[in-house]
Amino acid sequence: MDYYGSHINRLIEELQSLPGIGAKTAQRLAFHIINMPPEQVKSLAASMTDARANANYCRECYTLTDEELCPICKSAKRNHRQIMVVETSRDLAAYERTGRYEGVYHVLRGVIAAMRGVGPNDIKLKELMARLQAADGSLLCDEVIVATSSSLEGETTAMYILKLIRTLGMELKVTRIAQGVPVGGDIENTDEVTLERALLGRTEM
């Protein structure tokens, strides 16, 4: 039933289409936006438009950024010889919140999921391998930390990464985060203390 009129209803519908936003939350957000000062609404709308227009992927680690290189890859303070492999930019952000990791990342932008038709060539595995070894065969990395989720797809991807590294004859350390992360759980929704323990308790693969 049309309670509010077409413009307000459209705003509620657009907000409800966002992930994790139900009907009641969408309505509450819509009313909040409507009651905001006009300049603040314009600023919010402009920030969304600008972010969408300028978002791209870091040419090194493939996380979301609005520059050629993300701030982590550009930082001279990070250990560029330690690479943590994660599924998404949200997982990267979750580990950064722990404040305990000093290396860099590689974002796969997905996992191997045969049931959904996602194979090794559909995620950033080839790009990961290119970061590990120079053309002359010398290693560019000392440790790869595999921090995919503990789901079936995450575990399959982790084992595939290990197989790739060993097939290419790379003698580098490959570790897996400890299973303090709940089985089947998402990295991005796991609390910082659990993630920190999983990182510190990682084991060699």
Domain boundaries, the chain: 6-54, 64-204
The answer to whether 43 and 114 are in contact (CB under 8 A) is: no
CA 68 to chain centre: 17
Mean per-residue pLDDT of the chain: 89
**What is the residue whose two structure tokens read 């950024």?**
65
Task: Tell me the per-residue pLDDT of 80-133, one tens digit each, with 9 for 90 and over.
Answer: 999 999 999 999 999 999 898 999 999 999 999 988 999 999 999 999 999 999
Round to whole Å and give the CA distance between 128 and 105. 10
**Span 47-53, average pLDDT:** 92
Rounded to whole angstroms, what are the CA distances from 99 to 103, 107, 131, 147, 196? 11, 18, 24, 16, 9
Q: Is residue 70 packed enough to be buried (19+ CB in 10 Å), middle (13-18) or exposed (0-12)?
A: buried
* Tokens of residue 6, six digits: 């077409």
- Residue 59 is predicted with a pLDDT of 96
Assign a CATH topology to domain 6-54.
Helicase, Ruva Protein; domain 3 (1.10.8)
Amino acid of residue 35: N
- Residue 197 is predicted with a pLDDT of 62
- Residue 183 is predicted with a pLDDT of 53
The SS3 of residue 1 is coil
Q: Is residue 138 packed enough to be buried (19+ CB in 10 Å), middle (13-18) or exposed (0-12)?
A: exposed
**What is the residue whose two structure tokens read 């990395």?**
141
Bridge partners of 70, per DSSP, are none
Residues 6+ apart with CB under 8 A from 78: 72, 102, 103, 104
- Residue 6 is predicted with a pLDDT of 86
Amino acid of residue 49: T
Which of 87, 204, 128 lies closest to 95, judged by CA? 87
Round to whole Å and give the CA distance between 185 and 10. 34
The confidence band for 185, taking pLDDT boundaries of 50, 70 and 90, is: low
Assign a CATH topology to domain 64-204.
Dna Topoisomerase Vi A Subunit; Chain: A, domain 2 (3.40.1360)
